[in-house]
Structure 1
Amino acid sequence: MIPLADLRREFRPMLRLAAPLAMAELAWMSMGIVDTLMAGRLGAAALGAGTLGSMVFYPIVIAGTGMLLGMDTLVSQAHGANDPHESRRSLIAGVWLGLLLAPLTALVVLALMPVLRAAGANPHVMELLIPYTRALLWGVACLMFFAAFRRYLQALDIVQPVMFAIVSANLINVFGNWLLMYGHWGFPAMGLEGSGWSTSFSRVYMALVLLATILRHEAETGNLLHSMSWRPDWARIRRLAGLGLPAALQILFEGGVFGLVTVLAATLDEVSLAAHSIAVQVVSTTFMVPLGISSAAAVRVGQAVGRKDLRGVATAGWTALLLSTLFMGSAGIALAVAPRWIVRLFIADSAVIASGALLVRIAAVFELFDGFQIVATGALRGLGNTRTSMLTHLLGYWALGLPVGYVLCYPFHWGVSGIWVGLTAALLLIGTALVLAWKRAAGAR
C-alpha cells in the first residue's frame, strides 16, 4: 500500500508532466479532424479519399513512430541516474532509427496503393488518394524525427515546447490547407493533395521547433551533444528497436481491431455506421487524456528506476493510475448520464442519436478500464517492459473482443451494439490484466 503522503507528493510533478502532454495529444487528434472538415468542402469524393488515405497512412506511420517509444525507457532512466551522456546516446540512436524507419514506412504505404485498386476502390477516389498520400509521405521523415525529439525532451521533463509545437502546427496546417486546397493568395487550388502538402509542412515545422528546443537546452548545459559521435551505435539501436517493436505491434493490434469493427459496422446499415463513427470519436477524445498521463507515467517511473528509488517507482505508477481514474471515472459518468446530448453535438438525425446514445452508454462501462490499460502500459514501459502490454492487447482484442463482438453482432442479431459489447469485454480484460501486471512488477522491486 502506497502511503497517502507519497501520493500527494508525486501528484503535482505527475500532473505538471501529464497536463501538457494530454493537451498535445488532443491537439494532435484535432489536426486530423480539421483536415476532414476542410476536405468535406471539396465534395464527397475528396472526403472519401481523405478518409481512406488516413486509414491506410496513419496506422502504419504511427506504428513506425511507436518503434521509438523505447526512448521513454532509456532516456528517462538515464536522466534519473543523472547520466546526460547516456541520454544523448539514446537520442542519437533514436534519430538513426527514425531515419531508417521513414523509407520503410513510406514503402509499405505505397505498396498498399495497388492493393486498394485490386480490392475495388472507386477509381475516382484513387485518383485523388494517390497524390494526397504521396504528399503526406514527404513529411514522414520529419514526423519520425519529431517523435524522437519529443521522447527525448519529455524524458528530461521538458514538455511545454512539445505542446506548443503541436498546437501551433495546427494553426499552420489550417492556414496551409486554406492556401493550397482552395487556391488563395495566388496559390494553385490543389484540392485534397494540398491538404497532404500542408500536413507535411506542419510536420517539418514541428520537428524544427523541437530541434531548436534541444539546441537551446544544449547551449544551456554545455553543448555535450555537439561533441559526441553521431555514427550509428548499432547495439543501442537494436536495444531501442527491441523495446519499440512490441509497442509498435500493440498499436497495430489496437488500431487494427478498431479498423476492422468499423468495416463490420459498415456491413450493417447507414445508421449503425454513423452511430459507430460518433461513438469512436467520443471515446477517442476522452482517451487522449490518459494517453498523455501514460507518457508521464513512463517518464516518472523510468526516472525513479534510474535513481534506484524503488518506492518512487511504485508511487509514480500508482499516482498516474489514480490521476487516470479521476478523469476517466468522471468521463464515464458523463457518458452514462448524458449520452443523447453528447451524440446531438455531432448529428441531428433521431435514429442515429438513439443508436449512438446506446453505444456511448456502453462505452461508459469501459472508460475506466481504457484508462487503466494505457496508463499501466506507460508505467510498465518506464520499467522497460513492453512485451506484456503487447501480448495482453493481442489476446484481449483478437481472442476475446473481436470474436465476442462478431457473435453478438451477427448470430445473436445485436447489431452494432454487439460489436461494442465485445470491445467492452476486451477492455475490461486488458485493463484488469495490465493493472495486475503493474502491481506485480512494482511489488517485485
Structure 2
Amino acid sequence: MLSLAIPVALSEIGWMTMTVVDVVMVGKLGPSAIGAVGLGNAIYYAPSIFGIGLLLGLDTLVSRSWGAKDFDDCHRSLAQAMYIALAFTPLLMAFILVAGPLFTGHGVDPVVGLLTRQYVGLLNLGTLPLLVYGGFRRYLQGVGRVRPVTFALISANLVNLLGNWIFIYGKFGMPAMGVRGSACSTVFARIYMAAVLVFFAWRHERRRGHSLFAHWPAPDWVRIRALLKLGVPAASQVILEVAAFGTATILSAHLDPVSLATHEIALSCAAYTFMVPLGISAAGAVAVGHAIGAKSSDRARRAGWMALGLAVGFMSLTALIFLLAPRPVLRIYSHDPRVLLLGAHVLLIVAAFQVFDGAQTVATGALRGLGETRTPMLVNLVGYWVIGLPLGAWLCFHLHWGLYGLWSGLTTALILIALLLTWRWSQAAIPQPV
C-alpha cells in the first residue's frame, strides 16, 4: 500500500502546490489578485475536474486487468479514455467560457471580476492537456507505474514557478502580465505534464514489446460505455464536491475582498492537506482493483481498511497543526493583519473536519476499486447540496456569521459524508474468487 500511496500522495501534493504557488506568487499584487485567482479556479476547476473524473473508470478497469495480467487490455482501456477526453474537451471549454462572465457579474467587486475573467480566459487553453494528463496518469497508476507521475508533478512545479516569475512580474523582456501571467504559466506546465506522462507510457509499452502508438486501438463503443458507466457517477461525485467548495468561494465573493482572500487561503490550506488522503484514495482504489483482478477478496478488504487507517492518521496530524499554529501557516500566503485575524479563526474550523475529509475520500476510492461509483455520488449530493451549502449560506447571510457560517456548513457536510461512506465500505460485498 505504501509503495503505491507515497508516490501518488506526493503527486497530489505536487498538483496542489501548483495552485498554492499561483496564489503565493500573485499575493504581492494584493487581496484583489488573490481573490481573482481563487475565484477563477473555483469557476474553472469544477467543469475541468468533471472531465478528468470521466476518466476515473480507468482506476477500476486498468487495475483489474493488470491484476489479471491482461496487459493488452490495459492499453485498450487507455485508448478509449483518450477518445472520451477528445470528445468532451470542446464542451468543457465552451461551458467555462460561458461560466466566467456569469459568476463575476453582479455582487462581485469590479476589480476582482475583471481580473478573474482574464485569468479564466487564458487558463481555459490548458483543458485538453489537463485531460490527457489525467488519462495517462490513471493508466500508469493502474499498471503500478506511479513514480513517473510523481516526477511529472514535481518537475512541473518548477516549470510553473519559473513561468509565474517570468510572466507575472515581466522578466527576461516579457511584459508584466499580473494574474494573466499566472494563467499562462499554468497552461505551459500542463502541456509539459501531459507530454511527460505520454513519454513514460510509451516507454512502458515499448519495454513489453508493444508500441503505444503503432498498435493504437480504434474506438470501441462497448468499452467506452463501460468507462462512462463508471466515470459519469465518479465525475458527478467529484464535481459535486468541487462545485460545493467553488460555490462557497462564489458566496464569499459577495462579502468583501478580505473575506474572499481569507476564504481562498483557508481553502488552499484545506485542499493542500487533502492531497495526501486523495493520493491514498487513488492507491486504495488501485490496490483493491489489483486484488479483485487477482481473485483475492481478503486482500481487497484489507487494502481498503489499510488505506483508511493511513488517511485518518495523517489528517489527525494536520488537524493539530491548524489548531496549534494557524498564524505561521497563514503567513505563507499573506501578512495582511485583517487576513491573519480572520484566517486564524477559520483554520480552527478547518481543523475540525480534517479527519472526516480524509476518511470520506479514501472510502470513495476503495468503493471505486470495487466498481461502485453511484453511492458516493448520491451521498455527496445530499451532504453538500441538500444540507451543507444551504446551512452554510443561511448561517452566513441570514444569521450574519459571515465566513464562519459558510465553513460551518461545509464541515457539517463532510462529517455526514465521511460517516455514511465509511459505513458503506464496511458493508460492501467484495467479489469472491471463482
Q: TM-score, normalised by structure 2?
A: 0.90
Give the 5 Å matches for 1:147-158: 147-158=134-145
Q: Which residue of 2 aligns with 1:423?
A: 410
Q: Give yes or no for contact 1:276–1:416 (8 Å, CA) kept in 2.
A: yes
CA distance 1:200–1:269, shift in 2 (3 Å): closer
CA distance 1:363–1:115, shift in 2 (3 Å): closer
CA distance 1:44–1:272, shift in 2 (3 Å): closer
CA distance 1:276–1:53, shift in 2 (3 Å): closer
Q: Which residue of 2 aligns with 1:378?
A: 365
For 2:266 and 2:116, the matched residues in 1 are separated by 26
Identity over the aligned pairs, expressed in percent?
A: 47
CA distance 1:277–1:201, shift in 2 (3 Å): closer
Q: What amino acid is aligned across from residue 233 of structure 1 in structure 2? A: D
Q: TM-score, normalised by structure 1?
A: 0.88
For 1:157 and 1:219, the matched residues in 2 are separated by 16
CA distance 1:365–1:125, shift in 2 (3 Å): closer
Would you say 1:315 and 2:302 are equivalent positions? yes
For 2:334 and 2:190, the matched residues in 1 are separated by 32
For 1:44 and 1:362, the matched residues in 2 are separated by 22
Q: What amino acid is aligned across from residue 287 of structure 2 in structure 1? A: R
For 1:124 and 1:415, the matched residues in 2 are separated by 21
* Mean Cα deviation higher: 414-423 or 377-386: 414-423
Q: Which residue of 1 aligns with 2:242?
A: 255
1:369 aligns with one of 356, 363, 366: 356
Q: What amino acid is aligned across from residue 133 of structure 2 in structure 1? A: F
Q: Which residue of 1 aligns with 2:79?
A: 92
* Mean Cα deviation higher: 116-125 or 21-30: 116-125
Task: Deviation per CA, 1:304-326: give whole Å up to 9, x if none.
Answer: 11111110110110010011121
Q: Which residue of 2 aligns with 1:406?
A: 393
Q: Which residue of 1 aligns with 2:277?
A: 290
CA distance 1:236–1:356, shift in 2 (3 Å): same
For 1:124 and 1:332, the matched residues in 2 are separated by 35
* Mean Cα deviation higher: 314-323 or 138-147: 138-147
Q: Structure 1: 5+ residue runs without aligned partners? A: 1-13
Q: Which residue of 1 aligns with 2:158?
A: 171
Q: 3-state DSSP class of the match of 1:139? A: helix
CA distance 1:43–1:324, shift in 2 (3 Å): closer
Q: Give yes or no for contact 1:313–1:442 (8 Å, CA) kept in 2.
A: no
CA radius of gyration, larger in: 1
Q: Which residue of 2 aligns with 1:62?
A: 49
How far residue 409 of structure 1 moved from its aligned partner, in angstroms, is 3.5
For 2:314 and 2:263, the matched residues in 1 are separated by 23
CA distance 1:77–1:274, shift in 2 (3 Å): same
* Mean Cα deviation higher: 364-373 or 176-185: 176-185
Q: Give yes or no for contact 1:314–1:442 (8 Å, CA) kept in 2.
A: no
CA distance 1:425–1:136, shift in 2 (3 Å): closer
Q: Which residue of 2 aligns with 1:31?
A: 18
Task: Deviation per CA, 1:76-132: give whole Å up to 9, x if none.
Answer: 011011111111110001111111121111111122245357647677766655554
For 1:201 and 1:45, the matched residues in 2 are separated by 24
How far residue 257 of structure 1 moved from its aligned partner, in angstroms, is 1.8
CA distance 1:57–1:345, shift in 2 (3 Å): closer
How far residue 368 of structure 1 moved from its aligned partner, in angstroms, is 1.1
Q: 3-state DSSP class of the match of 2:343? A: helix
CA distance 1:350–1:112, shift in 2 (3 Å): closer
1:235 aligns with one of 216, 222, 236: 222
How far residue 32 of structure 1 moved from its aligned partner, in angstroms, is 1.7
For 2:340 and 2:118, the matched residues in 1 are separated by 36
For 2:163 and 2:14, the matched residues in 1 are separated by 17
